[in-house]
Every structure is written in C-alpha cells, then in structure tokens.
C-alpha cells in the first residue's frame, strides 16, 4: 500500500516500550507501509517537528497509558490534530483511551478505540490480520536502543484478563474476558525469526494463577528455553510475570511449577492486611522451593491506614529475616480509574502531608523498600506510631536522616512529643492547607499557640523540593 504511518507515544516516563504501537508497526509493514515512531508532542520549532512535518502522513496512531498522564496525553493528541487537520487520520488507543473515552472525545474531538485490536476492521481496513496477535516490532527503536529498558526481553502474554473484579483495578474494563491460555511458543519463535533472540521473558498476565492450564503455560516457557539455570550469551535468563501473581490462588503444586523456571523476581501483591495469612503462606512456599528473590506490590492510599501500610512492609522485613529471602517491596499509590492527575487523597486516613511523607521516603530509597532490617527501621520507624510521627516531619529532616539523629531532628522531635493530640491535629491541618514554605511562614505568624509556632518554624524556613520529588508509582506498570 505504501502509506506513511506515524506512531506516537506521549512524552511521559515509562520503562516499557509501547507494545500496542509495536504490534501496529508489524501490521503496517506486512501491508508494505512506511512506518516511523516518535515520542513526544509535535512542535514545528523542535527537532521532532522537522522529522514529522516533512512527511505527508496517511495515518497517525497515538498510544495512551495511565489516566493520571492526562495533561501530557491531551497536549500530544491536540498537537498532532493541528498537524493533520483531518481527525479521521488519527487513531488513539490504549489504557487511558479505554477507561475514559468520553472525556477524551470531549477534550480532543477524537473518539478513541477501546480495548484490544482484534481485527483489521477496527482500523477501517479489510484483511485477515489480527493486530493483537502480531509480534512486536523491535526494530522501531534501532536508532535509539537505550530509549527503553526492556528491549532485550520477549514481552507478551500467556493469559488475558482476570477472574477478580477488584474495584481499584482497571483490568475488568481493559480485558473484560478471562482467556486462560495463549500459546506463546509460536509468538516467541516469530520474534526470534524477525528480531533475533532475547535475553529475558516478560509476561504481562494479570492473573496467571487463575488459569486452568497453568501447567501447560509453565511447560511452554520451558520449551522456549527458559528452564532454571538457563543462559544465553553466558548470562542467566529470567522470567518475570511483571503484573504479579495472586497469593489467594497460590498452592504448593503451582509454586513447585514456578520453581522449575528461572523466575526472577516472583512478584506477589499484598494489597490488604486482611490477606496476611495467604500472603505469608505464599512466601513460605516460595522459600520451601528455593525461590529467594521476590518483589511485592503494596497498595496504599486506598482503604488502608498508614498503620497497616507500615505493618505490611514490616511483615516483609520479618519474612526476609526468617527465611533468608530478598523481598523488595514496591509501594504503589492508589489513584481512581478516572484520575486525571496524581492528587487523589483517600480521606480520612490519608492526607496531603502523609502522602508526601511516604513519597519523600521513597524518593530517598529510589522507589523500593530495601530488605535490610536496620535500614527499614531508620526509614519507616520501629513501630506504626513512630512511622506516623515520621510522616509529620519537615522535608529537610525526613529526607536527610542518618543513623545518628542530627541536632535539628532531635530538636524537632522534642517539640513534637510535647504537642497534645489536638495540637497535632491542628498542626496537620495547617501543613495540609499551607503547602509551601512561604505559605507556612504566613501561617506561623498567624498562629497564636506558642508550641505550634515553634514547631512550624522548622517547616517555614526550608527550601521545599516538593515539585522535584521523583514520582515512583510506575514500578508496577500494566499494559
């Protein structure tokens, strides 16, 4: 056909390459079309603008990811809408597009595609191809091989959907039907033929343990070369069920099967303190079958409290110690499925100050909670009560604590413990209402309570890095 096709990913940060666009690329190349990928919005004054504006594009595909990337996604869509002048040539799809199609239509005038691309008619073509079954086109990134971290991995699915209907999760809308088996062998063989062998295998299944054919899936993984201890280029190969497995469905038989492949890490969600027994049982089974490297997704800012968030982190520290494991916890802040930014606060248990406190700690830890017991206690406190106190701390004290408390930390602590419960509530209200040092300085002047005035001085004279804090909620990206 020789059409010119432009694939666009908005400029948000992500470690995953855009799998949907990669499959669309393969589809169009099979039809003889010319395909180019760019990341970012169109600006005719930029280098990207030079690349984009000098070609007459027959189609532009724009991917979307998390709904809280709303602003940058909408700006990207509008920029290419201005370039194309013809909405019928622009195709928008992906996670945000599926979860919020009406909002996207209202904002851009382009109604997006929802769900998976199961046949070419969805793209107004008429052929036998199923886009969703295409292998991803890794050659899109040959010019910038370092653009994404995971290009040396096979990326795909052995199941689709989930049997659960967790209200905080978008999978039931993104993949409403549970498909309990996909033959990955032919998929991987085609990637090898087209793009060469890859080091690792990343599977994006949302609940692989729910499959009635889990044993077949494990056998498929081994058949394509991922047996325990397997190497390529003299390096160990790993399998990663990146979205995690469901502790509620873990059995000894399933963990024995997982132990036959080079799973690294085994990711298990621990979203609710009420699931402690089932979660801990899964960890004990992993230890029994010598799966020692684990990763743990911990949801917070949902229906939990800061105290039970701390408890779940502490449980992992204890399990590490008891079974000599390496469990890295990745706290993941909950945001509603229609959130257009990261500002959601789950009242009454969470508030702006506490959420920023958690984010400040994670900023220092680079997103993950380390396995070392002493390090955990220093970062999160030795008790739930101490953790909550840490969340009250001024940024300059919280982020720069050492094993030996410095003078400022000791002074702040001595003043904080003298506050009554009502004074602590008032302090928290002030910190949540007056979010910047300049505003806090005004609040300090207005405050008549002497003890509050003294402790507020620790907040109002600091240079806030609030806007520069790393946003590390993407460790558990879904696709």
The CA angle 306-312-315, to the nearest 5 degrees, is 140
Rounded CA-CA distance 111/182 in Å is 30
Rounded CA-CA distance 217/330 in Å is 26
Query: For the domain 143-347+367-372, what is the CATH code?
Result: 3.80.30
Residue entry with tokens 């220092």: 364
Helices 384-392, 421-433: axis angle to 10 degrees equals 50
Q: pTM value?
A: 0.92
Sorted by where each begins, the domain ranges of the chain are: 4-133, 143-347+367-372
* Contacts (Cβ under 8 Å, ≥6 apart) of 319: 280, 283, 284, 325, 327
CA neighbor of 140 nearest in space, from 19, 3, 31, 48: 19
Residue entry with tokens 């690349």: 51
**pLDDT tens digits, the chain, 479 residues: what are they?**
799 999 999 999 999 999 999 999 999 999 999 999 999 987 765 666 666 776 789 999 999 999 999 999 999 999 999 888 889 999 999 999 999 999 999 999 999 999 998 888 888 898 999 999 999 999 999 988 889 989 999 999 999 999 999 999 999 999 999 999 999 999 999 999 999 999 999 999 999 999 999 999 999 999 999 999 999 989 999 999 999 999 999 999 999 999 999 999 999 999 999 999 999 999 999 999 999 999 999 999 999 999 999 999 999 999 999 999 999 999 999 999 999 999 999 999 999 999 999 999 998 887 778 778 888 999 999 999 999 999 999 998 998 887 677 888 999 999 999 999 999 999 999 999 999 988 999 999 999 999 999 999 999 865 544 444 444 443 343 33
* Strand partners of residue 37: 7
Rounded CA-CA distance 445/209 in Å is 58
Give DSSP secondary structure letters for 80-123: HHHHHS-GGGEEEEEHHHHH-HHHHHHHHS-PPP-S---SGGGG
Element (H, E) at 39: strand 34-39
**Is the separation of the CB atoms in 308 and 273 below 8 Å?**
yes
Rounded CA-CA distance 114/72 in Å is 20
Name the token pair of 402.
């050492």
Name the token pair of 439.
């505003």
**Is the separation of the CB atoms in 243 and 264 below 8 Å?**
no
Handedness of CA 431, 432, 436, 441 (dihedral sign): negative
* Contacts (Cβ under 8 Å, ≥6 apart) of 25: 5, 7, 35, 37, 136, 137, 140
> CB count, 10 Å around CB of 452?
19
CA neighbor of 109 nearest in space, from 83, 74, 62, 61: 74
Element (H, E) at 154: strand 153-156
pLDDT, tens digit, 9 for 90 and up, residues 21-44? 999 999 999 999 999 999 998 776
List phi, psi (to 5°) of 235: -125, 145
- Using a 10 angstrom Cβ sphere, with 0-12 exposed, 13-18 middle and 19 or more buried, the burial of residue 314 is buried
Residue entry with tokens 């930014």: 341
CATH 3.40.50.280 is right for the domain spanning 4-133 = yes
* Strand partners of residue 267: 295
């Amino acid at each position: 056909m020789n059409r010119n096709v432009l694939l666009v990913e908005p400029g948000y940060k992500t470690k995953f390459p855009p799998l949907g666009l990669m499959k669309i690329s393969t589809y169009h190349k099979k039809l003889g079309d010319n395909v180019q990928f760019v990341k970012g919005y169109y600006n005719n004054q930029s280098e990207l603008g030079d690349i984009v504006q000098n070609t007459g594009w027959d189609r532009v595909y724009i991917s979307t990811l998390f709904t809280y990337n709303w602003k940058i996604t909408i700006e990207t869509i509008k920029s290419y809408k201005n370039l194309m002048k013809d909405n019928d040539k622009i195709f928008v799809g992906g996670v945000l597009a599926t979860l919020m199609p009406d909002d996207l239509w209202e904002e851009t005038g382009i109604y997006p595609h929802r769900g998976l691309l199961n046949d070419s008619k969805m793209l107004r073509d008429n052929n036998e191809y199923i886009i969703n079954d295409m292998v991803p086109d890794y050659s899109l990134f040959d010019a910038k091989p370092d653009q994404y971290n995971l290009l040396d991995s096979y990326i795909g699915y052995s199941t689709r959907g989930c049997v659960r209907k967790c209200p905080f999760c978008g999978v039931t809308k993104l993949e409403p039907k549970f498909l309990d088996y996909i033959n990955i062998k032919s998929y991987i063989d085609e990637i090898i033929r087209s793009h060469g062998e890859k080091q690792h295998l990343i599977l994006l299944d949302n609940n692989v343990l729910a499959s009635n054919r889990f044993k077949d899936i494990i056998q498929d993984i081994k058949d394509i070369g991922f047996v325990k201890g397997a190497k390529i280029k003299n390096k160990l190969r790993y399998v990663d069920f990146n979205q995690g497995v469901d502790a509620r469905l873990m059995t000894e038989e399933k963990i024995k099967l997982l132990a036959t492949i080079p799973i690294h890490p085994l990711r298990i969600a621990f979203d609710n303190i009420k699931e402690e027994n089932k979660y801990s049982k899964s960890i004990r089974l992993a230890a029994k079958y010598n799966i020692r490297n684990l990763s743990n997704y911990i949801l917070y800012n949902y229906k939990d409290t800061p105290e039970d968030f701390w408890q779940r982190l502490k449980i992992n520290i204890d399990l590490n110690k008891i079974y000599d494991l390496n469990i890295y916890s990745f706290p993941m802040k909950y945001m509603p499925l229609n959130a257009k930014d990261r500002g959601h606060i789950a009242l009454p248990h969470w508030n702006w100050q506490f959420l920023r406190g958690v984010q400040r700690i994670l900023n220092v830890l680079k997103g993950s909670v380390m396995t070392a017991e002493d390090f955990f206690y220093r970062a999160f406190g030795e008790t739930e009560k101490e953790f909550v106190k840490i969340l009250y701390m001024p940024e300059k004290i919280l982020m720069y604590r050492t094993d030996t408390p410095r003078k400022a930390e000791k002074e702040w602590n001595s003043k904080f413990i003298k506050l009554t419960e009502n004074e602590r509530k008032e302090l928290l209200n002030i910190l949540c209402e007056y979010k910047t040092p300049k505003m806090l300085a005004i609040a300090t002047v207005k405050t008549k309570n002497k003890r509050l005035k003294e402790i507020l001085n620790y907040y109002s004279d600091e240079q806030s890095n609030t806007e520069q804090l790393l946003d590390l909620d993407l460790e558990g990206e879904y696709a």
